[in-house]
Chain A
Amino acid sequence: MSRADHKTDQELPNDGLTYPDTEYFCKTRPVPVGPQFEAMEAVRNWARANSLAVQAFGTGCGAVELRPLMTARYDAYRYGVTGSPTPRQSCVFIIGGYASVKTLKRIIVSYEQMQNPKFVVALGSCTVNGGMYWDSYNTINRIDHYIPVDLYVSGCMPRPEALLAGFVKLKELIKAGKCEGANKYLENFDWYKANQKKIIKNWNMPDYNW
């Protein structure tokens, strides 16, 4: 078939898709976007750091501390952190604790749908090394093998103060231009994909969700 002949290394295989869906999704491999213009980049980073929109996806029990954080008591709006209902409009993804295999699939979809610049904050010990669920058959041990993580907030579960401190740190990192997780993901795209496909058994989605 002609389509198979033209398949090069630069194209995504999209093996998980069946016929009508293959037509809907793009096969082009995503490319990393490095800093283009030094002086401009500093201004951009300053702007990025001060308008963080958190995606509304409570992936685990850490999400229970997001509500106090966003409401009157701790009020993360003071720090320029706000909530955003869809992945397309948000730039911070908070992994709220352990991720089960089923959630991980949704995390990947949501993460890939987020537009650049995007940052990942992982909460809790279970994202670092599995925490309390290190021997569970359904929770992954290290989230950084599946998506790049810019910042960890440790604890089980982290208090809202710890989260606020995490956001302050994240801003520092962004301003210093050290949050290059999204580019790291694309540079090591094959490694991440191999890890993801190792545990997600029914891979019925495109290899990159644009």
Chain B
Amino acid sequence: MKQLFDRLQALFGVTDFERKRDDLAFLKVPKDHAEMLIRHLRDHEGFSHLVFFSAVDYIEDDIFRLIYMLHNYGTRDTLGVHVDIARENAGMTSIHTLWAQAALYQRELKEMFGIDFPGSPGVDEDFMLEGWDEIPPMRREFDTRAYAEKTFFPREGREKSDPRTHMRKQFYPNWGEGE
């Protein structure tokens, strides 16, 4: 895996190599090189299996971190490729030509995070939600509890208590300062 990283560093400027397990590693690549890198990994390094493709919302850094998880059946290595993109007008190059299921992941990302993939087939269609007109639900600023209480009819009498405060009240009524 280390040699692979050195090779990729020379070619694509990948950074932040993190080796998690013997068979699992993560690395980061600038947005512009991402598609080329993934194509290279698939065609020349044997990472022929797209395990999944998703995103993590880092709202405090104002970025979405896309993660392409690739697997190499020959060496049995799994490699996670991170790509940081800006949260505003989020968009990314589509990889639907590389894997058939990629279009589906991109459709999900468009709906759940609002990340656009121009050219990906069916990317604007509804995937799981129907007629959703709020901000995309998987974004961190979307408050699902407030939305649920506003939209649906919560049954009265149902108590919602945080287990921490509840147990503190129950078992440690004289709890001092701090945690």
How many whole Å from A200's CB to the nearest CB in chain B? 7
How many whole Å from A59's CB to the nearest CB in chain B? 15
| Interface pair A137/B130, CB less than 8 Å apart | no
| Interface pair A129/B137, CB less than 8 Å apart | no
* Given known A101-B130, A138-B129, contact A198–B151 (CB-CB < 8 A): yes
Q: How far is the CA of A202 from the CA of B130 in the complex (A)?
A: 7
| Interface pair B130/A141, CB less than 8 Å apart | no
Q: Number of contacting residues on A, CB 8 A?
A: 22
Q: How far is the CA of A139 from the CA of B154 in the complex (A)?
A: 11
- Interface check B172, CB cutoff 8 A: no
With a CB–CB cut-off of 8 A, which chain A residues contact B175?
none
| Interface pair A142/B153, CB less than 8 Å apart | yes
- Interface check B145, CB cutoff 8 A: yes
- Interface check B177, CB cutoff 8 A: no
With a CB–CB cut-off of 8 A, which chain A residues contact B147?
137
> Of residues 107 to 133 in B, which have CB atoms within 8 Å of A's CB atoms?
128-133
How many whole Å from A85's CB to the nearest CB in chain B? 25
* Given known A137-B144, A137-B147, contact A130–B131 (CB-CB < 8 A): no
| Interface pair B158/A129, CB less than 8 Å apart | yes
How many whole Å from B113's CB to the nearest CB in chain A? 14
| Interface pair A135/B155, CB less than 8 Å apart | no
Give B contacts to A, CB under 8 Å.
128-134, 137, 142, 144-145, 147-149, 151-155, 158, 160
Interchain residue pairs with CB less than 8 A apart (12)? A102-B129, A129-B155, A129-B158, A130-B152, A135-B149, A137-B148, A140-B153, A141-B153, A142-B155, A200-B130, A201-B130, A201-B132
